[in-house]
Structures are given as structure tokens and as C-alpha cells.
Structure 1
């Protein structure tokens, strides 16, 4: 049984330093600095300057010309466990015309998908606020509130703000640091000194709790035809015999899609921390060149992302996909180019109990376990657990009802009320965690 350490006066003292207007302004400022995966340095410098302005010990981890991590530290007096908050700076889209690779112009030109954030009906709208600049703003304001409150911590508190969390990986001719994602920044941070006894990942979870996340397998499937002049070739008698690699790929795509439909049920993972239903998706196709339509493509490649439940080995799914393709009678190569394991956190019982009690005290309700979708995506939670740092996820984000309400704007908006609750929670938790000798 864990008893809370703070009295109500201390809770009110730290929360008095959280200003909703300042939180909104900071969220809008973060939106205004583009930070697509691979190009996080500008927003990283902003975060580092902001931490330094608070008087925090600030570490800039320079990883590449356009990439960096930032660690802001409130030093403890000694005798308590250390805690790190983990959050990522990179966002899925850039608000530039590069985004037209992923969306129609109509979707791209939405007012919400811009860098000039605005407030409407209790939401902040702007590119990347939903994943996850709202969470960053709440964490930064919480660090400020703790620092300004004057309430001491025994253990160190780290805000580890990283690049490269969003799924991205070097493949084929796309090589270099700018293509690294899927936990790249967190792995660098943890292996370059940003260690703590425990960690809380503030990535999206709808203010619900989990300590289980899937891993990722990135792979590509390649089919070969016969390069030549398209003008000299008629339609083939069948897809399998076509010299056009794109046509030849079609049965393989159908076979993979059929395999993927049964995959989640076969690999569902259930534990106290949530339910993982891993998914498998074809995410790109490449064959031929748009500007050289006179030439028949002799090679066609699709790329895939496959989430894997804790305990599932990457080669298991690679072999299943190869078997599915072979059964379609298409001669294809299946090649894995990156993989990371999933984890159910161990040694988090004390952290979970303190978190639950703190949440209940603040909000007069019990924190729920994440819905399956929030348990079934990659987050940096895995990186900490892989490196022996017990880590849970408790982040912001939209509820299922809110997602239905905002529709296509889900990535580009966030409710202000949830940001305020997040800042309150993140300001209070370290005072309960870091002032204990053990959890």
C-alpha cells in the first residue's frame, strides 16, 4: 500500500504556477516551428533555450546537421528515485507540399493543417499539435511549475525531448540520418547518458494508462519483370507471366492483404496493462518512373510495416509473409530492413500505484487502462523497457468520441482542457515519485 506524500496545500502550491493562457501560447509556438521527422533541430533549439530560461540544467545532444535531442533536468537533493518524462518533437507532416505524397490537396489545404495555430471551440488547431506538441507543451509547463513552486525533489527529474520517434527507416536509395525514426532519438538519449530509475512516456494515450506496446518490423517485397519499351509490349495473358513488374505484383499484394486480415486475431496479446492487437499494412509501392512512361517497369517494390506483440520475433512474420507470397505463385523476395521488439514493462508496480493514486486525487476518478488502439502503436516506451528502465505510458491525445467529432483534423487539433489536465498531472507526479527512496 502506497500513501501519497503531498498535502493539499503543496498540491495547490505547484498547480498555482500553471497558467492556461501560457500553456496555449506555448503550444501554438511549438506548432509554428516545423519539425517533420528528420528535421527537428529548430524546435529542439527552441525547447533547449526555453529550459535554459527556467534555469534548468540543459543538455543538447547533437545527432546530425538537422537532428538533436534535448534533456532538461531538475536536480534532486539526493536520496530519491529519478524519473524521466519522454516525449518526441517530430511530427508526421511538415505543412509543406511534401505532404501531398500522403494526402489530397483538399485535405492538405485545411486551415488546421498549417503552422499558424489558432484556437476554436476549446481546441488548438495546427500542424502537429495532436501528435504530439500539445503533450510537449504540457510537459514543459509542468517542469516550469515544479521549478517555480520551490518544492524540492530528492531524485532527479529529466524531461527527455527526442527526435525520431515516428516510424521512419532508411531503405533502398533513401539512406542517411534524416531517415531514422521509430525510436531513434530515444535510443540515442538512453545510450548517451539520459538514464533514470523510472520513466513515463507522455505520448498519446487519451489520458489513459498502459505499460505494454508492440514492436515494429519494416520490410519490403520485390517482384521482377523484364525492363523494356512499354510501347512494344501488349497485355500479358496472365498476371503471373507479365513482363510488367507492377502487374506481376498484384497477386502478391492480394495474398499479403488476405494474410494481414487474420494477423491481429492470431497475435493479440493481453495483460493487465492493456491489449495489443498488432496490425500489418502495405505503406508504399514503387515501380517505373512517372516521367518515363515509355519504359516498362522491370522491378516493383512494396514496403510494409508490421507491428509485433511482445514475445513475437521479427522473423516469424517475415516467414509468414514469404509463405503467403509463395502461395500466390509469385516469385518475390521478402526482405526485412529494420526491426524493434515490443515489451510489457516489468518492475512498474510501484510506479503504477503512485500514478493511479495521484491521478485519482487530482481528478476524482480512476485512471483507465488504454483502449487497444493506444496499446497497439509503437512508442518510445519500448526503448526504455528494452534498456532496463521501467516505463509506462500516460499521455494526452483525443478520446474516441473526440476523434469522431473532429474527423480528418485529428492529427492537427487538441482539446485545451486535456492539455491543462496533463500539465497538472505531470507537475504533481514527480513530487510524489522522486521524493521516495524506492517504489
Structure 2
């Protein structure tokens, strides 16, 4: 299978050099770079997206777009901007997330996960331009691509392209996380449920197609992995340290912490084969699911003297569109049953399955991005690197609900202002190829009809 797409259906509307020239002239690269830096420098860790959300809303209003918000909580609002919808073209939705991966900034929690020098990395919250490249995690993920489609919409408006279909511009909280697990429960710790998923159901959007704007190095995929987080609990016996007789065989130690070594070795062997065993490839991309242990909890450090009776392993695993969480649970049970343990249980703490678009239904959208890429970059659209189809991205939300969706966007790491400008041009041309230009109507020429008769 080649890296280029076999375009099997045309985009709804034809675009060419005339449209490319008009939109390229309407995109101000310096303005786009400044927008990405300004938006990226608004601190927006997960659960703290309010300021960035307000900025996007204010920008949409100031630029003359219809704007509104919707959210599960006042502090974590989705933002929806609209443009066009003045004809009979298809509706296209762009989405990007407001939150960025970062420490929790709760000192006790962060000290248990990060080295001190990692916590001091300024790229967690800061963005800047240096030697022609943009630095900072917020621009890479995901406010750089967000800025690109915002400027793309402004360029359409500035160049006088009134759209027949409606263009939705959405900025969402929660895509990074967190997830409600153990003592961190409730709506305060919801992640993906309050972002694009909530937006789809309550945001007043009705897209025919959707694009999750994220760094894909200008490639595209319509696949997305899900994931599951399993808690594996090993049980043992509490034993007062002065009366403990240390056994020769580590698996016979009453404290289940000591049994971690052999169990972790077995999980490691399983994880080495997991990616290729569950690898999934189709025209839309390649998914290679990965797995690793994210956390281990055992005992109470300040209440010592008798070891612990429980140790918990929190294992994360990617799930391709062909896997279910139950499949993974059966595999893990088989591993644990190979040991003579006092007891164990395996429980999924988080489950999100992967999804893919129907190849025939997504074809017009892929054709639109391909045409836009050829006009902008001078070569055909390529399939995205497998890493981008082996993770969760919010195009999963739309494919889950039968809205053909892809993820595509600029260079993920160390993009340049030129990369942002090219991505914005591709987004603008794609919107025009999907939504089409609205035809001007004569005053008074519109007559509402029911069936074939006027009201």
C-alpha cells in the first residue's frame, strides 16, 4: 500500500489556482504566528481551560463570526464559531483542544511522577519563536492547529468567499484528560466526556464532515485508536515485620509487593508482542497499539510495620478499531493465572474504543484535503505516520457517531511560521471544496416550500 491516497470520489466542489491565490493573499503569516503565540501562552492545563476558552470566544466575536459556548461546567466551556451556511452545501466542522499536557501543579502528585528538572521545563506553559521555529507544547498540541483554522476562516471571509454549507470552528476542553480514577472522581475530573463529545451532543452542530486539527506533519488518517486502563490488584497477607520469615521463593512472600518482579516480567514479555499482534492497517492508515504501566500503588507509607495486603498495577493499552476492552481483559487474566497467587482481580478503570470512518463516505473529504494539499504544497496528500492513527484524537468522536472524520494538520514538532501558513491555506481551501460558494440570490426570490408547493 502506497503512502498516497487512491482518490476514489471527487470533492463536492472544485477548487483551483484562482481560489488558492485569493486565500493565500488573505492569510497574514505574521498575524497567524502572533495568534498562535498569544493563544499558546495562555496557561491551559487540563481542568484549567477557562482563560483560553474565553480568548477564543472573544476572538471569534471580534472578527465578526457568530460565537457561543456550551459546557458541562462553567469553568470548562466548549467554544463554537460559525461561518457561512447560506446555501445548500455540506457542513464542515473543525475542532481542536484547548488543554495541553502538563504537570498537575499539585506538588505532592508531581513529585511522585516527575524529576525536578522536568518540572522546570518552560515549554509546558510557554511558547516562543526562536531561530525561525516555534517552541512550546501548547502550540504543538493543539493551539497551533487551532490558530490555523481560525485564520483560515478569517481568510475565507476576507477574500469574500461566502460559503453555501456551514463551517463550524470549535475549541474544546478535556481532550488531554484527566479521567476519573480511584479517589479522583466526578465531573471535576472528566476529560474527553466534556469536550468534543459533549459539544457533539449539546453544541448545536450538525456537520456532514469533521476534521480534528492536530499536528500530523501534513499527513491524514481517518483511523483512531482508543485505550483502556486496567487496574490489576495482587493480594497477599499483612505480616508484622518482627515475626516475618523471609521465604526463599519471592512468589511465596506474604507481601504482594514482592511478587511484582515476576508479574512485571510476564507483562513485559506480553507487551513486546502486543503491538504487532494487534496491528491494523487499511486504506485510511495504520494503527499500532502500544501498552505500558503508568502507575503502581501499594500500602500506606506513613502507616508501616506490617507491609500491605494489596498492590495495584495500572496498565494502559491502546485499542485499535478491531479490539474490545474485553479482549484485553481476557489476555491479562491468562497471564496472571500462570502464577500461584493468593488472589488477583483485573478491572477496567477507563474504556474508550477506537473508530474509523467508512472509506466510501469519507472519500469526498479526503479528496478535498488532497486537492488543497496539491495546490498549497505541490504534491499529493499522504497517509499520516502510524503514530497519529495509533492514539486517541477527537475525530474518533465524530466517526463514532457516523460523521466521516479525519485528523490532519501542520508539522507537529518545531513548526515554522511557514508551516502554520500552509496549514491555514489547506484548511481554508478544504472548507471551500466541501462547503462550496453560496450563490447570490435576487431580493425577494426565495420562496419557502413544503413538498412541491409554496407555504
Please give the TM-score of this superposition, normalised by the length of structure 1: 0.90
Secondary structure in 2 aligned to 1:112?
A: helix
Change (3 A) 1:184 1:238: farther
Matches for 1:26-45 after TM superposition, within 5 Å: 26-45=35-54
Counterparts of 1:94 and 1:148, CA distance in 2: 40
Q: Please, which of 362, 384, 393 is the counterpart of residue 348 of structure 1?
A: 362
Aligned twin of 1:174 = 184
Matches for 1:90-105 after TM superposition, within 5 Å: 90-94=99-103, 96=105, 99-105=110-116
Mapped contact 1:215–1:378 kept (Cα < 8 A): yes
Mapped contact 2:162–2:437 kept (Cα < 8 A): no
Change (3 A) 1:149 1:221: same
Mapped contact 2:71–2:194 kept (Cα < 8 A): no
Counterparts of 2:421 and 2:104, CA distance in 1: 26
Question: How far apart are 1:203 and its partner, in Å?
Answer: 2.0
Matches for 1:133-144 after TM superposition, within 5 Å: 133-144=143-154
Secondary structure in 1 aligned to 2:294?
A: strand
Aligned twin of 1:201 = 212
Provide Cα deviations, 1:264-300, integer angstroms capped at 9, x if missing partner.
1111111011111111211111112344455523221
Q: Please, which of 381, 393, 397 is the counterpart of residue 379 of structure 1?
A: 393
Secondary structure in 2 aligned to 1:77?
A: coil
Rg (Cα) greater in structure: 2
Question: How far apart are 1:252 and its partner, in Å?
Answer: 2.3
Secondary structure in 1 aligned to 2:102?
A: coil
Counterparts of 1:144 and 1:101, CA distance in 2: 45
Aligned twin of 1:319 = 330
Provide Cα deviations, 1:205-261, integer angstroms capped at 9, x if missing partner.
111011111121122111122346556646443332223232233332222221111
Question: How far apart are 1:7 and its partner, in Å?
Answer: 4.5
- Aligned Cα RMSD in Å? 2.3
Please give the TM-score of this superposition, normalised by the length of structure 2: 0.87
Provide Cα deviations, 1:362-418, integer angstroms capped at 9, x if missing partner.
1111111012111111111111011111001112243xxxxxxxxxxx5xx543332
Aligned twin of 2:421 = 420
1:151 aligns with 2:161: yes
Question: How far apart are 1:10 and its partner, in Å?
Answer: 3.2
1:125 aligns with 2:135: yes
Counterparts of 1:160 and 1:258, CA distance in 2: 42
Q: Please, which of 5, 10, 14 is the counterpart of residue 2 of structure 1?
A: 10
Aligned twin of 2:175 = 165
Aligned twin of 1:108 = 119
Q: Please, which of 246, 251, 264 is the counterpart of residue 257 of structure 2?
A: 246
Unaligned runs of 5+ in 1: 399-409
